Structure 1
């Protein structure tokens, strides 16, 4: 089959690789019909390369049609149309029974000290081949795949794989009361969906970014936007819009590669140039992140408010404004999304008339799988008005 593979820093290629096969009784094989490039994939493209190997198949936002099932794949059957959550969870362990699917103890990566295995996301999370390919092997198929109805376009349900439940969790974790204000930092795909979910729930939303196309898109849905390049101090701007109090909740939808920290950028780039044997421990145990977005979220939330972090971070020695966080009584909630915890609630919205969350129009680019390398570069450089890319094998 053809698949998008990692080859090195800022280098990916579509290659012919072996077709996946059933390895465990609860596996399934799907023929991929749509697979998206996620902002998290760009971390592999740039920062997390030391934990990848040339030839690793990337991708964790995938849907398709079941081609083959193992004898213990539950009620899944050949021909089912399914979306595949990016985290691989069993549904029955201690963590899963509490809705903590991203911490599944059956697929947990104890050797690297990380949570549940993820599709297409480094040796830290199991080195499981990803879905930017013609076919995908799905472990724990008795629980993971989400069956979706025939007839609707793929984009109506594709984002159930990751960014839609991630955005839903980001809003839920922010704990914004009715009539309250949510400030979303980063208006990429997750930020856009977080804002729309909050608006659909009747909250006021302030969106923060510096990319014109993202600001315009958010504004078209009713978000009050702030262009980072037009304000001296973002926290002051948000306080001005909230009677001097700050937002009830803030969402960091940016993560480790936020702009605004030249020293951290230099450190990250330097580590990325080291041989893997040196870069792995530095990245895993001593790395620092570019914290501009997170610090802004902390400084923009009101006293007693909540900071919700959906952006991916990788550092362990990040400096945090602990005195301010303590004095202001801030709550922080963060972590990988527990996809299936939110599936039922999201599906109810998706099944309503009118595409309330705008998922069918979110992707700005639909390209063949063979053109994925150019799409990665375009997405990473924010060229051509790119908001979201969907690949078609």
Structure 2
């Protein structure tokens, strides 16, 4: 089959790989009909290469048609249409019983000290082949896949794999009071949906922060006040002034480890990330595990821009081990901090009725800016990384 594979730092290609096979009785095989490029994929593209090997299949936002099921998968039948959550969880372990599906004890990658396995996301998370491919093996298929109705556009449901549950959790963790205020740092796909979900759940003021005109315009269309980073010297101080002189009740960092800006150590971290990616994997992994530093501009903005006693929610991916944190300010201002991989299945009951609504209240059909064949995925990665051609979200058709 054809699949998008990692070949080296900032080098991906569509290549021939073996068709997936049933390996465990809880597996299923799906034919992928749509799959998306996530902002997290860009971390693999440019930073997390030491944990990949040439030929690894990328992608963790797939949906498709069931082709085959293992003997212990009684909830799915051949021909079912499904969306596949990006984290692989069993549904019955101690963590899953508590709806902490991203920490599933059945699929935890204990050798790396990490949580549940993820599709297409490095040896840190199980080296499970990803969904930017013609076919996908789905472990723990007795629980993970979400059945969806026939006769609807793929994009109406595709984002149940990651974008919508991740954004929903980000807003839930932000704990925005009814009628309160929230600032969203980064208006990529997750940030866009955070804006829409926050408004849907009753936030009175939602401030979207970015520097890309197309992203700012899209967030404004869904009710956000927008703040262009290129026009302000200190985004945190601006937020404090903008919302009653005290700052928003909550902030959401939807950017993660590769933020752009001038936070302390940011340039050093950027140089370090790039240099580490050029080292042999065995050395680079040790450096990353012990001394990796993230680019923290979005996190700093979120921490320093929230009001005293407010809540900061992190949904952007971080991988540093020695990130400098403004602990005195965080402690003095009584900030609450919540974070983590999205527990996808935990939020499906909340999100599914909204995507099933023909009125499309969250604008799922209005997120993708580019729909391309899988063969054009390498160029799409570059476009998404560089934010050219108005690119906000890419959906691929294998």
Fold conserved between structures, TM > 0.5: yes
Corresponding position of 1:67: 67
Shift of 1:374: 0.5
Shift of 1:267: 1.4
Deviations 1:259-315 (A, max 9, x none): 012121111111111111110111122100000000000001111110000000000
Corresponding position of 1:358: 363
The whole-number CA distance in structure 2 between the counterparts of 1:15 and 1:222 is 42
The whole-number CA distance in structure 2 between the counterparts of 1:267 and 1:6 is 21
Shift of 1:245: 1.1
The whole-number CA distance in structure 1 between the counterparts of 2:251 and 2:372 is 34
Deviations 1:93-127 (A, max 9, x none): 00000000000000000000000000000000000
The whole-number CA distance in structure 2 between the counterparts of 1:240 and 1:222 is 20
Corresponding position of 1:218: 219
The whole-number CA distance in structure 1 between the counterparts of 2:184 and 2:150 is 34
Of 345, 356, 362, which residue of structure 1 is paired with 2:350? Answer: 345
Shift of 1:202: 2.0
Q: Structure 1 unaligned runs (5+)?
A: none
Check whether the contact 1:252–1:311 (CA below 8 A) recurs between aligned residues: yes
Deviations 1:224-245 (A, max 9, x none): 0000010111112111221111
Check whether the contact 1:62–1:83 (CA below 8 A) recurs between aligned residues: yes
Of 373, 376, 390, which residue of structure 1 is paired with 2:378? Answer: 373
Check whether the contact 1:74–1:143 (CA below 8 A) recurs between aligned residues: no
Corresponding position of 2:234: 233
Corresponding position of 2:103: 103
Corresponding position of 2:388: 383
Check whether the contact 1:379–1:387 (CA below 8 A) recurs between aligned residues: yes
Corresponding position of 1:258: 259
Shift of 1:74: 2.5
SS at match of 1:95: helix
The whole-number CA distance in structure 1 between the counterparts of 2:249 and 2:134 is 44
Number of aligned residue pairs: 393
Check whether the contact 1:74–1:141 (CA below 8 A) recurs between aligned residues: no
Corresponding position of 1:144: 144
Which 4+ residue blocks in structure 1 deviate beyond 6 angstroms? none
The whole-number CA distance in structure 2 between the counterparts of 1:132 and 1:352 is 28
The whole-number CA distance in structure 2 between the counterparts of 1:380 and 1:51 is 20
The whole-number CA distance in structure 2 between the counterparts of 1:22 and 1:334 is 34
Corresponding position of 1:117: 117
Check whether the contact 1:26–1:74 (CA below 8 A) recurs between aligned residues: no
How do 1:165-180 residues align onto structure 2 when only pairs under 5 Å count? 165-180=165-180
SS at match of 1:140: coil
RMSD of aligned alpha carbons = 0.7
Shift of 1:349: 1.2
TM-score, with length taken from structure 1: 0.99
